[in-house]
Structure 1
């Protein structure tokens, strides 16, 4: 019989509750999936019935944020509870990029393993080194076939010990080749004409997709969105298979399920930016112990909050000072909890050649972006530059990309201040508006305090502040 975990109750000498009281935990992470393509977030065209059902049975967050809209950097935050600028996770880990988390960092799977959990991962990893992000079991499956991935997880699901399953798809990330022939051919987003074993191919007509306002309403863009939608529907089927496996194993009532994406949709204006389409993401949490269902939670949370939250779900004792994020289990059942109206974001690199550090503070309706390298042209991810959606505007010499002027996308002000209650598309920069001078000053102060608190090396660029300057001989 499943017994309720009482967070904050009496812990064993090891710092955890007994194994019998520990719920299983599934963290399902898609790759480049925005809020734009989910039925439960308001899209009437996309077919995502299983994820929509999760929202009906759980909690759907409306203001959940990654802290860096780049795959590897975001995933490091998800599994450490710390911003990448403090852990060395500045950007991509693979090939010549080679960013890597400091060996001293304690990650979520390692901490859960010490607490008695079997930890398993399947699909995209994109983290380094393995000694920091070590899992007990590494499962093999095609990361583009989420049904196959779910099948590969059945052994973990059917075991007796509590488990933590890190389920990471390659969908709906763009797929190679990134430079199509001809140039205006849409990227496949992993879709295949022959389909995938066990997956029903769900295709969409370009005329039917909903073009987000930050994108141009062009035929190339619509064609790419149709491919993106198809990839998202494949995710949903695999998620449904995973839920069914939990049900058949009798684990539905003692398994917490969390669905998120690592960063926003893989189109210019979203992924690799800190504009809302890049960092504001789906987050759905189902805790079967909760009586109320279908809750819409407006708290501002970030992926830095996930590690302390999951440890709290597991009944693992920790110090709040161990992480930059905080536990949101206590406000899951609320709609607009007090004290959850401020978040921070920190982006440094995507690819190695894409140096463009940005820091963000969001306080209520106001959002401040500090473009630290603002004198540089904004760098493009290789796949986004080659995208027919961008090339159709670039090759025609278009002046606008969605609602934003192309020149404003490529060349940005040092500070961007937006009132999101009036300007959801982040077009009207208020940083030079005298009526918002006090807001700008206050948010700059908060941003610097955040950097100092989280030991951000880039704090030195506030008037050459050397308060964090080391001796050059430290670890």
Structure 2
């Protein structure tokens, strides 16, 4: 869509269910329709926020349905969020946590993508049109999955499950140029629009906010048209309709980040009168019950009256067996963020009621680390420039600074997660509880991201679930080792030293990450790290040693970095090392290195996303 099409908002009619419905025979099971908008957190809808966009068709749905105040994507990016939805499983448990996948993971043995169960039960399953799964897909999932897919092609009287995706709010729509920005006026007033406290209040940010709200209104009109089609087809009284955003976004520090702006999505579920007995919540109301994307698959199966496979992690929040008493204790959501294109991180979060706990397992990775696709946006570029020019306040420059290993936020009083409460004694018991809850969760899965992606692809991709279960105790040890950074260095020193001498390369790997987290406080291990950077048998351990040294002002020859890069056995391993080189380039003003593109096999530059090329171009610029 060109930026000029913003004016389509003014000419596309808002239908508000105005068409007269034609009556058709009612099925014995409900039709289920998903209306999915891309890249928009709840913060941009007036339904949730007085400064949000007015979306009258969504609000009309809410008047005859349920508004979920606490609906969460488990991941803040498309492929991982959608892989979570289609499987009903936590992505780091089943090897689907990286965006985008280097290779497809198999579905867990004995588990199918949930629409296949619906199809086996007689449903007509259709998807128009985005899939973006990190799994190998069976041919039996959809009757149709394309830009032409429609529930209208089913047999007469056959119930359907249909997904209609709307792309107008996608991140790519904000990749406009300065010339386009200067020539096109937004419908939403840029003068009156709200700018988040962590963003600089500039004309570019005001324009981007206003334009993004225009896109919301356009999506609402598109949704209105589709609902009218359903109404014209005589299906409204037999169809349960979900509207939700596929994850948060898309202004800087949302999509791709584990903050509420990346995870807390809008969700409305409309129930016709005939099927209201499947909802334990009164129509036209709002609920604070927590629902997650892992819950969507079992919820749809529950509404269809089908059994829920044991391998699914989620729980249904709608259906004939779901009561208010069952829901009232659901106040927790889990989040995960790993690799986004060429940018690596490892962050986990748990939201419990009003409090949010974030665990940054590699806190020295700054949020602002370059990502080619993110930095196409003028707002990202300007934010970076203002930081370099020293023109940001304390809240605005957090994005460019090393993070704390853990953070605790009170979302009710601090909705944009700016005031870390970890050191506040008032919240000590809450901190301990959430830290313990998250630690238990990553161990119990177990979380496969505690191994480097390249090692997982080599050793575990053929059967991620079995791979993880066979190494559950080993992963738990790595989690405990990573959590040494939450203690004082004095308490952790002996265990770090033992891990650095371990025969297990991944214990040595994590011990060095912990050293980097402690910073100069861990200078006792500089000499050990220098030796490891030259002699360790594992290439990635050698580079973590260099990373520790260089982050804390120890000089390492560029030749050593190039040697380790040249030893990379795969594109994935090289990309992980390049991520650390890019970090050094970002946080060390005097660090310079030139990486010859000829040092990598030509086929590594031909992969989807061109990750190696993007990183090398950034480092060499």
Q: TM-score interval w.r.t. the shorter chain?
A: 0.7 to 0.9
Over residues 167-202 of structure 1, what are the superposed CA-to-partner deviations in whole Å (9 max), with x where a residue is unaligned?
112221132794x654x86599xxxx9xxxxxxx99
Tell me the TM-score normalized by structure 2: 0.62
Q: Where does 1:311-350 land on structure 2 (aligned, <5 Å)?
A: 311-319=301-309, 321-329=310-318, 337-350=327-340
Cα–Cα, structure 1 residues 254 and 414, in superposed 2: closer, same or farther, change >3 Å? same
Q: Where does 1:32-51 land on structure 2 (aligned, <5 Å)?
A: 32-43=39-50, 46-51=53-58
Q: Where does 1:84-233 land on structure 2 (aligned, <5 Å)?
A: 84-93=91-100, 97-104=101-108, 105-127=111-133, 128-131=135-138, 134-140=141-147, 153=150, 155-156=152-153, 159-175=156-172, 178=175, 181-182=177-178, 186=181, 203-233=187-217
Higher gyration radius (CA): 2
1:252 and 2:258 correspond: no
- Match of residue 87 from structure 2: 80
1:30 and 2:19 correspond: no
- Match of residue 288 from structure 2: 298
Larger RCO, structure (CA 8 Å, separation 6 or more): 1
Structure with greater helix share of residues: 2
Q: Shift of residue 360 of structure 1?
A: 1.0
Aligned partner of 2:384 among 379, 394, 408? 394
Cα–Cα, structure 1 residues 45 and 311, in superposed 2: closer, same or farther, change >3 Å? closer
Secondary structure of the residue that 2:32 maps to in structure 1?
strand
Over residues 56-85 of structure 1, what are the superposed CA-to-partner deviations in whole Å (9 max), with x where a residue is unaligned?
110001111111101110011111111111
Aligned partner of 1:286 among 270, 278, 301? 270
- Match of residue 224 from structure 2: 240
Over residues 86-123 of structure 1, what are the superposed CA-to-partner deviations in whole Å (9 max), with x where a residue is unaligned?
22212224xxx535332334212212111211111113
Secondary structure of the residue that 2:351 maps to in structure 1?
strand
Unmatched 5+ stretches in structure 2: 1-23, 451-474, 483-498, 500-505, 507-621
Q: Shift of residue 447 of structure 1?
A: 0.8
Task: Measure the CA separation in 2 of the matches of 1:380 and 1:264.
Answer: 19
Cα–Cα, structure 1 residues 133 and 222, in superposed 2: closer, same or farther, change >3 Å? farther
Structure with greater strand share of residues: 1
- Match of residue 413 from structure 2: 422
Aligned partner of 1:265 among 249, 252, 263? 249
- Matched pairs, number: 423
Aligned partner of 1:360 among 349, 353, 366? 349
Task: Measure the CA separation in 2 of the matches of 1:175 and 1:133.
Answer: 31
Task: Measure the CA separation in 2 of the matches of 1:110 and 1:62.
Answer: 30
Task: Measure the CA separation in 2 of the matches of 1:335 and 1:56.
Answer: 24
Contact 2:186 2:210 in 1 (8 A): no
Task: Measure the CA separation in 2 of the matches of 1:280 and 1:115.
Answer: 32
1:453 and 2:459 correspond: no
Secondary structure of the residue that 2:80 maps to in structure 1?
helix
Contact 2:174 2:212 in 1 (8 A): no
Contact 1:36 1:43 in 2 (8 A): no
Unmatched 5+ stretches in structure 1: 4-19, 142-151, 194-200, 470-475
- 38-47 or 428-437: which moved more? 38-47
1:443 and 2:425 correspond: no
Task: Measure the CA separation in 2 of the matches of 1:110 and 1:273.
Answer: 31
Secondary structure of the residue that 2:266 maps to in structure 1?
strand
Tell me the TM-score normalized by structure 1: 0.80
Task: Measure the CA separation in 2 of the matches of 1:343 and 1:101.
Answer: 24
Over residues 26-65 of structure 1, what are the superposed CA-to-partner deviations in whole Å (9 max), with x where a residue is unaligned?
1121110121222322346624111110111100011111
